[in-house]
Homo-oligomer: A and B are copies of this chain.
Amino acid sequence: MSSPAAEPADRDNVFALRPRPAAPPRSTPPAPLWREAVGRELREERRRSGRTLSDVAGAAGISLPYLSEIERGRKEPSSEILEAVGGALGLELVDLTARVTRSLARERATRSPLCLAA
């Protein structure tokens, strides 16, 4: 009979001395969607520059609740809205996609099995 893989069995014999953190490594959330990733970057940039939702929404020509939904990744911004909000924050599309890329790459690194082996 073939024996089960050694690794999972070994892991079963490890007892935690402290309670596990709230988010156990094996249940990391899936990679974010585009609207979630880009919404996060927009919110971060707005906060970094110390501006309010009302200010940026006004400059972009959209409503405050709509901007808030975009920042939380709950509404899918059209490319034109994305350009308007980015423009209101002084960000070109390329700046925005570069930030999203960096952020997603960092997240992917923490999700990667290589990280568990390190």
Contacts and interface: CB of A to CB of B under 8 A. Distances in A.
Q: Does more than half of chain A's interface fall in helix, strand or loop, or is it mixed?
A: helix
B31 A82 contact: no
Q: How many copies does the complex hold?
A: 2
Interface in A4-49: 31-37
Contacts of A34: 79, 82-83, 93, 97
A80 B73 CA distance: 12
A104 B99 CA distance: 13
Interface of A: 31-37, 76, 78-80, 82-83, 92-94, 97-98, 100-101, 104-105, 108
Give the 4 A-B CB pairs with smallest separation, nearest first: A33-B79, A94-B104, A34-B79, A97-B101
